Structure 1
Amino acid sequence: MALPVVAIVGRPNVGKSTLFNRLVGKRIALVDDRPGVTRDRREGTGILLGTEFKVIDTAGFETDDPETLPGRMRVQTEAAVREADVALFLIDGRAGVMPLDEEVAGWLRAIDTPVIVAANKAEGSAGETGRLEAFSLGFGEPFGLSAEHGEGIVDLFEGLRPFIGREDEESGGAEDEEEEGGPLKLAIVGRPNAGKSTLINKMLGQERLITGPEAGITRDAITIDWEHGGRKVQLVDTAGLRKRAKVQDKLEKLSTIDTKRSIDMAEVVVLLLDATRGLEAQDLRIADQVLEEGRALIIAINKWDVADNASSLFNGIKAALVDGLSQVKGVPVLTVSAKTGKGIDVLIEAAFTLRDQWSKRVPTGELNRWFDDAIEAHQPPAPKGQRIKLRYITQVKSRPPTFVIFGNRLDMLPASYVRYLENSMRDDLDLGPVPIRVNLRMQKNPYHKRARKA
């Protein structure tokens, strides 16, 4: 059964994201002193006194023209409130009721969603005057709270309970169980304006994320639950990644950290390129970072429907990846159009296949038969006439596949031979183009100490 939904609304800079983080118990929404930090609506799961509910953080309510960026942000806020079970209208208790608060109140009165009001930044008695002023908004008794310090959260929950409470027998059930393996965690990354949000909107079939010609619209990493062909997917839209030297603004630095955290939490990462700009050095840096984090990678070339010299562009990108991503061979390179939706089905199928390979465990017997054959086909070198003995291999984990090779004189084994083993694994054990970790462990010589004593 779907969780009840609480949408947090209010004018800019009243502390909506801070309250969101408090309710979900994690610092996942970006917070800064300046107004307008939140743009897309962000969802999380909160739990208070045993009751679980969905929380939506929305952009600060603005009255700008719908065609402007603030206007497009307001459209997302309006959609969130209309879908919610209750709107939590937040004001700044220290500042009191402002003219824009009254405009927000007027809009909320015109819709059917129930509303409760809370005066934030009310540590001690600091916001009591503002809380009392909020009676004038016409939504009943306002609650005083401090999202930053956690004061008043229990009282707030009591106000929310009539709208989000569920009887125990209604919560959970066999129908809520996820399919084996859980949803595919798929993050979309790339440089600014590559079309990441547009691509996700096309997948969802709705304008869920704010898009536009302005670079850097997305700031938070936004996670959205989706289904494709009956299979569950968690799509993650991320902020564009620029060269580190160009990132000076504090908020952009926070966005970059948030994107990197999303890469670390993903199973498969799609690096979206702009076909009108081709492959740049920054794209290779992002791809390298994804692989270093041990995540499966797909390269998707967007805006393919308007690409010039498409065949030459595609071959050029593939050739550059061979040189630039030597640690993993055969990373899928696909073409998509976020505008028309062409290529999305192929992209998702490739992501599921990669997730399976990334999660694969090879039976011990099969693994060591492959190991013996690989060594027989290509013996390790004997530097300075000293034979390197490879005894056996074991898989210690998956996601990504990680192996340990045991033997003697492994400190003398060239990196090129380890790469040979990795590439053979990909081909012979169907591990595909996913990161593989190979660790070398030398066995102790039981006669070493005895020989020294002699």
Structure 2
Amino acid sequence: MYRVAIVGRPNVGKSSLFNRIIGKRKAIVEDIPGVTRDRIVSTAEWRGIPFEIVDTGGYIEGDKDIFAPYIRKQIEKELDLSDAFILVVDGKEGITPADQEIAKILHRTDKPVYIAVNKIDNPENEEVVYEFYELGFDKVFPVSSIQKYGVADLLDAVVEDIPHYEKESIKEETKKEDRDLIKVAIVGKPNAGKSSLLNAILGEERAVVSDIPGTTRDVVDTLFEWNGQKFIFLDTAGLRKKSKVDYGIEFFSVGRTLESIKKADVIVHVIDAQQGATEQDTKIAHLIQKYTKPAVIVINKIDTVPPKSEVLNRIKNQVRERLYFIPYAPIVMTSAKNRKGIKQLLREIIEVYNQAWKRVGTGQLNRAIKQILSLRQPPSYQGKPLKIYYATQLEGKPPCFLLFVNYPEGFKEHFVRFLENNLRTVLGFEKAPIKLLFRGRDESRD
């Protein structure tokens, strides 16, 4: 798909323009330079023509920011990946040395470049745009991403320059319904190696990686294909303890992470091998359980611990014991640094996804319940025996089974867990969560 990258120095309004183009608040917008550190990719549409739009980290001249080298590298990588560029500048500040430095980089490509002179809130101030022709590009547009002024003219120019053959192929591509796309949310506490893991999967330095907790503050969507299977990976900001989250950027990051968990098909929960499962990891796993999400537990950074089977088994057992309430989630041990365990991780994601979509016949389901009840009968309730008459699987995922019983309120958590665990084993849902719903039958109480 045709790809357009938004570039520029910090705090000129790149993320605001990105959000305006895609029509929703996806990139974090805050009046602090350098808020966006990663490349955020989304699909936009204008005049019926879809295209990819990329919000890059703010370019920082020199080494004034600890993330400057990473961000500069991300922008330069877009020279190869993107088909066109929108250079956002601040109309109120005029041309700065950083703007000139970015323009020099963009002059290395013969791809279309559009100058968006942002923060022009009044048409009477449009004359300030003429100064920006000095940057050497002839497509200069006054815009206000906040007030939506001038954005339509900018997008008209962008889609007009998309080659005809690209437009036709894009239209055909969007007509195809792709039901096999797996949405994967990568979650975990800060500095567990989530971005490194994503980069190892993709084979490129896609997300900014550093040893500084909280580097990733946006949710980064990335389309990826492996062995014919398509994925969208969401590399989310690390979830911190509530007491350590201030209102502002990190507050929104945590909110985005929770939204990603809700929307994802599969959750990849990344745990640091050196630390094992911590209290914060148990809280994250409880969210996975709360939203009944298929999950893969990744014990990352195994290159940092002794490569002995007894050590690795001890770490694995500690994680399994601490996260006992999501027993269905398979555990994969990885080294993102050495790309070890990546293929196994991808295979497990596909497997748990397929199990989460699996359906069983009503006859098979009821035979399974009868088999399980032969092992252990439900307890009595108010002096009367509990009965399960029959069950059926409901539509959707994860697998949800409706059980018709005499006293729904009598089925307590410990027996429900017994049913769930055994149904997963008997029906082949070992790696997927299942939900049981109980409904009473009035005639059974006569």
Q: Under TM normalisation by the shorter chain, which class is it?
A: over 0.9
Per-residue deviation at 1:68?
Answer: 4.5
Instruction: Tell whether the 8 Å contact from 2:407 to 2:440 is kept in structure 1 after alignment.
Output: yes
Q: Structure 1 440/7 Cα, relative in aligned 2: closer, same or farther at 3 Å?
A: same
Q: Structure 1 127/238 Cα, relative in aligned 2: closer, same or farther at 3 Å?
A: farther
Per-residue deviation at 1:66?
Answer: 11
Is 1:157 matched with 2:170? Answer: no
For the residues of structure 2 that align with 1:66 and 1:353, how far apart are their CA atoms?
Answer: 46
Secondary structure, counterpart of 1:116 in structure 2: strand
After TM superposition, the structure 1 = structure 2 runs for residues 238-387 of structure 1, keeping only pairs within 5 Å, are: 238-248=236-246, 250-308=248-306, 310-387=308-385
Per-residue deviation at 1:433?
Answer: 3.3
Q: Structure 1 162/243 Cα, relative in aligned 2: closer, same or farther at 3 Å?
A: same
Instruction: Tell whether the 8 Å contact from 1:66 to 1:72 is kept in structure 2 after alignment.
Output: no
Per-residue deviation at 1:356?
Answer: 0.9
Counterpart residue identity of residue 180, structure 2: G
For the residues of structure 1 that align with 2:146 and 2:64, how far apart are their CA atoms?
Answer: 32
Per-residue deviation at 1:200?
Answer: 1.7
Structure 2 gap segments, 5+ residues each: none
Per-residue deviation at 1:326?
Answer: 4.2
Instruction: Tell whether the 8 Å contact from 1:278 to 1:313 is kept in structure 2 after alignment.
Output: no
Is 1:17 matched with 2:9? Answer: no
2:53 corresponds, among 52, 55, 60, to: 55
Give 1:217's aligned residue.
215
Give 1:171's aligned residue.
170
Q: Structure 1 388/399 Cα, relative in aligned 2: closer, same or farther at 3 Å?
A: same
Give 1:182's aligned residue.
180
For the residues of structure 1 that align with 2:341 and 2:45, how far apart are their CA atoms?
Answer: 39
2:201 corresponds, among 190, 200, 203, to: 203
For the residues of structure 2 that align with 1:275 and 1:377, how far apart are their CA atoms?
Answer: 38
Counterpart residue identity of residue 389, structure 1: K
Counterpart residue identity of residue 411, structure 2: L
- Deviations 1:275-305, CA, capped at 9 Å, x for gaps: 1222211111111112212211111111112
Give 2:440's aligned residue.
442
Per-residue deviation at 1:447?
Answer: 9.2
Normalised TM-score (structure 2) = 0.92
Instruction: Tell whether the 8 Å contact from 1:221 to 1:259 is kept in structure 2 after alignment.
Output: yes
Counterpart residue identity of residue 275, structure 1: A
Give 1:451's aligned residue.
none
Structure 1 gap segments, 5+ residues each: 449-454
Q: Structure 1 364/209 Cα, relative in aligned 2: closer, same or farther at 3 Å?
A: same
Per-residue deviation at 1:123?
Answer: 2.0
Give 2:68's aligned residue.
70
Residue range with higher mean Cα deviation, 352-361 or 290-299:
290-299
**Aligned length, in residue pairs:** 445
Give 2:96's aligned residue.
98
- Deviations 1:70-89, CA, capped at 9 Å, x for gaps: 12111101211342222111
Secondary structure, counterpart of 2:393 in structure 1: strand
Per-residue deviation at 1:63?
Answer: 1.7
After TM superposition, the structure 1 = structure 2 runs for residues 106-117 of structure 1, keeping only pairs within 5 Å, are: 106-117=104-115
Counterpart residue identity of residue 183, structure 1: L
Counterpart residue identity of residue 265, structure 1: K
1:84 corresponds, among 70, 82, 85, to: 82
Residue range with higher mean Cα deviation, 121-130 or 264-273:
121-130
Instruction: Tell whether the 8 Å contact from 2:266 to 2:296 is kept in structure 1 after alignment.
Output: yes
Normalised TM-score (structure 1) = 0.91
Instruction: Tell whether the 8 Å contact from 1:66 to 1:75 is kept in structure 2 after alignment.
Output: no
Per-residue deviation at 1:384?
Answer: 3.6
